[in-house]
């Protein structure tokens, strides 16, 4: 079966929302490639916590911007790191693509991020997650074409909703 995508489907959202898990399943259902930009960064540059520690967040965001730009060059399902949308260039690049926002409540995400090595959560855990999620929420909302909550629904239902939406939306024209 040929892939159904004419351009990327991009999955954004806060840490722990399920972007990678959902993205893999959506890609499989659509017969498309799956690209996780965080995993692409790790393959090329090493562990993200080390990059934050040795290079700092601004340098990491530059690496992330390049990884996102590369991922968006092919029709794939692309999962972005939670903070990728902080970059102006990345936000601009998302304009012509289908963007799915996955949300999650603090109560549901707490067990998902417990014991994580995520650099931005090292000091304050769930309190840091709440602050970061609240700060980024308006950016996510402005970029999203569709929003789905992953807090309590089975991932299979979230995946089905995205696949149905992609198929119903049909091909999109490139923005000029």
How do the domains of the chain map onto residue ranges?
A: 9-167
Per-residue pLDDT of the chain (176 residues; tens, 9 = 90+): 445 788 899 999 998 899 999 999 999 999 999 999 999 999 999 998 889 889 998 999 999 999 999 999 989 999 999 999 999 999 999 988 999 999 998 877 776 565 555 444 455 667 887 888 999 999 999 999 999 999 999 999 999 999 999 998 755 444 43
- CATH number, domain 9-167, options 3.40.50.300, 3.90.180.10, 3.40.640.10, 3.40.190.10: 3.40.50.300
Give how far Cα 161 sits from Cα of 109, 128, 168, Å: 21, 30, 10
Rounded to whole angstroms, the Cα distance separating 10 from 99 reads 5
pLDDT given at position 52: 85
Say whether 99 sits in a helix, a strand or coil. strand
Confidence (pLDDT) at 120:
47
């Amino acid at each position: 079966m040929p892939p159904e995508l004419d351009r990327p489907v991009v999955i954004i959202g806060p840490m722990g929302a399920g972007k990678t898990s959902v993205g893999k399943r959506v890609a499989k259902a659509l017969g498309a490639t799956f690209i996780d930009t965080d995993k692409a960064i790790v393959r090329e540059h090493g562990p993200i916590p080390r990059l934050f520690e040795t290079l700092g967040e601004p340098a990491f965001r530059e690496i992330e911007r390049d990884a996102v730009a590369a991922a968006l060059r092919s029709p794939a399902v692309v999962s972005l790191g939670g903070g990728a949308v902080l970059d102006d260039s990345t936000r601009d690049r998302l304009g012509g693509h289908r963007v799915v926002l996955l949300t999650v409540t603090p109560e549901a995400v707490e067990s998902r991020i417990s014991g994580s090595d995520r650099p931005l959560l090292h000091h304050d855990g769930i309190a840091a997650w709440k602050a970061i999620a609240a700060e980024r929420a308006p950016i996510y909302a402005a970029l999203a074409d569709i929003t789905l909550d992953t807090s309590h629904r089975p991932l299979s239902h979230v995946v089905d909703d995205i696949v149905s939406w992609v198929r119903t939306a049909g091909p999109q024209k490139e923005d000029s």
